[in-house]
């Protein structure tokens, strides 16, 4: 079955950087869109960034554009979220996900989710 496993969360000071990884397994993802999402306490889960597995086309939420970069490594079956210039409001549990459709990713209803990793940005 499909498995997505995040790693790389932690505590960082405002202005710092973190890199998240998501290892994907269980089937070929050549037709998938892979995404990153986040959920802060008391809020709904929101879309952060996405990348098409095959072509590498990227999409970003407005609030992270220019600070976060999504990428993938086909040889490692993994994708990543490089987060720079972090702000306290970026504090959340970050989830990776996969779906065959970009619309499901953007609407935050992908077929497959990772378990989440905590990112805490101190002021």
Q: What's the pLDDT at 33?
A: 97
Residues of the chain with pLDDT under 50: none
Q: What's the pLDDT at 65?
A: 75
Least Cα distance to 47 among 57, 55, 56, 58 occurs for 58
Q: What is the CB neighbour count within 10 angstroms for residue 88? A: 11
Q: Decide if 98 contacts 31 (C-beta within 8 A).
A: no
Residues 20-55: pLDDT tens digits?
A: 999 999 999 989 999 999 999 999 999 999 999 999
């Amino acid at each position: 079955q499909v498995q997505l496993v995040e790693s790389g969360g932690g505590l960082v000071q405002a202005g710092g950087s973190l890199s998240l990884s998501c290892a994907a397994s269980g089937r070929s993802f050549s037709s998938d869109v892979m995404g990153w999402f986040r959920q802060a306490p008391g809020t709904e889960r929101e879309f952060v960034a996405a990348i098409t597995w095959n072509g590498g086309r990227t999409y970003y939420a407005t609030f992270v554009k220019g600070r976060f970069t999504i990428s993938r490594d086909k040889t490692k079956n993994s994708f990543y979220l490089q987060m720079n210039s972090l702000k306290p409001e970026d504090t959340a549990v970050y989830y990776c996900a996969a779906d065959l459709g970009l619309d499901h990713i953007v609407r935050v209803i992908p077929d497959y989710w990772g378990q989440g990793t905590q990112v805490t940005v101190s002021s």
